[in-house]
């Protein structure tokens, strides 16, 4: 016997509630309290996640993979869904993760910058781009590690926000139709009479399943969930869902290890040369990795705008430089290693190097 007929027969006779249970192939319906007026007997409806999503989402025509996104949001061990480590690296170059550092980690970051590039140590949170770009380039390994954690925790916060949004759209959908919600998307209660009338209102054939019946009700009342959850996913952000404590524990471990490496593992002379290099670059307004024109001679000569150079890195007390005598010649690039104490001479007499 089909479920609908079993419900009607239960209402109109004295058969056992198990008769209804056995007629439900989807294992959704259970009569939990039999009333003297059997039509008023209490019915419990329990859906699996897959069943409930099938009711509201047209999987066959859903190109946005809504069910998959919701399932990923519910899985705390799933990989990054909305943002990933590449996004985190871009954020690090702008210094945006610094906004989520606690006071201890912010001070630790300032202490690290004081050791190598004091001019950036007093960065303000409204302007973290220079500090972020510097840290990402000079301490690439540590920056990438922080970027990974930042992306992971940010993504988890977005997932929670996404689920909250989904629940706002899917919870309480049947409350006005005599089916009361106990637990959103999972547990509902009604009566035998209400369930039979509800079924009849959808026009669903009596030999169909209760899942089909609910799906027809959703379609008839325009309650489908057909949104693209990828669109405007930034709207899911809520700082209350951000796990700042866990993020800052990871950051503290990374920064503390870096600070110890700089102060304990590096030779004092090496650290001092690194500091001297970045102070010099800042004083000369030279952007590392960018091509620059040479300064005009202090006492003689004309500025040769055809010659350009690029500072690419600093290693073992020497500055790595790319030099082009003709900026329009893409193939004639000289690579040089210039001791830090000779760099000023290079700027005014590159022909000597």
For the chain, the structural domain boundaries read 3-75+164-220, 85-152+245-261, 268-352
pLDDT at 313: 86
Binning pLDDT at 50, 70 and 90, where does residue 42 land? very high
Task: Show contacts of 255-264: CB within 8 Å, 24+ apart.
Answer: 255/105, 255/108, 255/109, 255/112, 255/142, 256/108, 257/142, 258/112, 258/139, 258/142, 259/108, 259/111, 259/112, 259/115, 262/112, 262/115, 262/116, 263/115
- Give residue 27's region: left, alpha or beta (phi > 0; psi -120 to 50): left
pLDDT at 63: 61
Binning pLDDT at 50, 70 and 90, where does residue 278 land? confident
pLDDT at 62 over 80: no
pLDDT at 71: 84
**What is the rounded average pLDDT of the residues 211-218?**
95
**What is the rounded average pLDDT of the residues 228-252?**
94
pLDDT tens for residues 151-189?
Answer: 999 999 999 999 999 988 899 989 888 899 999 989 999
Sheet holding 318-324, edge to edge: 291-293, 308-315, 318-324, 334-339
């Amino acid at each position: 016997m089909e479920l609908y007929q079993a419900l009607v027969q239960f209402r109109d006779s004295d058969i056992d509630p198990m008769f209804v249970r056995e007629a439900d192939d989807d294992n959704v319906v259970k009569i939990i309290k039999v009333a003297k007026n059997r039509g008023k007997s209490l019915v419990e409806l329990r859906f699996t996640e897959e069943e409930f999503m099938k009711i509201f989402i047209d999987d066959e025509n859903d190109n946005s993979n809504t069910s998959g996104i919701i399932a990923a949001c519910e899985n705390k061990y799933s990989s990054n869904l909305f943002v990933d480590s590449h996004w985190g690296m871009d954020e690090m170059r702008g210094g945006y993760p610094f906004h989520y550092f606690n006071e201890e980690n912010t001070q630790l970051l300032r202490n690290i910058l004081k050791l190598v590039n004091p001019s950036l140590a007093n960065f303000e949170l409204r302007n973290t781009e220079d500090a972020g770009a510097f840290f990402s380039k000079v301490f690439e390994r540590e920056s990438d590690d922080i970027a990974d954690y930042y992306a992971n925790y940010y993504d988890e916060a977005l997932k929670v926000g996404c689920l909250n949004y989904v629940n706002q759209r899917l919870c309480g959908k049947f409350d006005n139709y005599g089916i009361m919600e106990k637990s959103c998307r999972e547990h509902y209660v009604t009566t035998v009479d209400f369930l039979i009338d509800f079924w009849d209102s959808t026009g669903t054939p009596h030999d169909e399943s209760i899942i089909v019946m609910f799906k027809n009700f959703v379609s008839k009342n325009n309650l489908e969930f057909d949104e693209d959850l990828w669109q405007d996913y930034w709207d899911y952000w809520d700082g209350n869902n951000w796990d700042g404590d866990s993020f800052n524990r990871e950051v503290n471990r990374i920064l503390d290890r870096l600070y110890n490496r700089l102060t304990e593992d590096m030779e004092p002379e090496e650290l001092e040369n690194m500091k001297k290099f970045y102070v010099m670059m800042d004083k000369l307004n030279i952007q590392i990795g960018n091509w620059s024109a040479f300064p005009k001679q202090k006492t003689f000569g004309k500025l040769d705008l055809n010659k350009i150079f690029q500072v690419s890195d600093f290693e073992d007390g020497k500055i790595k430089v790319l030099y082009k005598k003709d900026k329009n010649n893409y193939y004639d690039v000289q690579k040089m290693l210039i001791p830090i104490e000779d760099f000023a001479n290079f700027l005014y007499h590159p022909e000597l190097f």
